[in-house]
């Protein structure tokens, strides 16, 4: 149980375009999902907390107009990187938690974004 699926696993896009990453909880409902960004040999940095049916909460320094998050259902959250630039190239990972268990996170497989 507690499987989180992220899609796509890899994407290459051109500068100026937008790309959408999906995060799905496959066998449970996730009212809250989290989006992280990870640079090589660096720790995961929390970007935003995605809440079903409401606006996402962004961490300080994360541009909410650039990284659009939508959590339209209890099993799906999406992250859209708008007007992508090469510096947006990174590994993006989502996670979700089981209701009532706020101490462990279940992560998706991650998405390697390359902006050319």
Check: CB of residue 84 under 8 Å from CB of residue 115: yes
Check: CB of residue 113 under 8 Å from CB of residue 105: no
Please say which residue, 2 or 68, places its beta carbon nearer to other proteins: 2
Q: How far is the CB of 87 from other proteins (least distance, A)?
A: 20
Please say which residue, 9 or 83, places its beta carbon nearer to other proteins: 9
- Binding footprint of other proteins on the chain (CB under 8 A): 4, 6, 9, 32, 34, 41-44, 46, 49, 91, 93-95, 97, 102-110, 112
Q: How many alpha carbons fall within 13 Å on the CB side of residue 14?
A: 1
């Amino acid at each position: 149980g507690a499987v989180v699926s992220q899609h796509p696993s890899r994407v290459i896009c051109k500068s100026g375009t937008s790309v959408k990453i999906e995060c799905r909880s496959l066998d449970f409902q996730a009212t809250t999902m989290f989006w992280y960004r990870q640079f090589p040999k660096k720790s995961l940095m929390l970007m935003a907390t995605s809440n079903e049916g409401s606006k996402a909460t962004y961490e300080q320094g994360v541009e909410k107009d650039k990284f659009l998050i939508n959590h339209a259902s209890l099993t799906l959250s999406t992250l859209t990187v708008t007007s992508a630039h090469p510096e947006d190239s990174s590994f993006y990972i989502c996670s979700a938690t089981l209701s009532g268990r706020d101490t462990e996170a279940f992560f998706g497989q991650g998405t390697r974004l390359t902006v050319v």
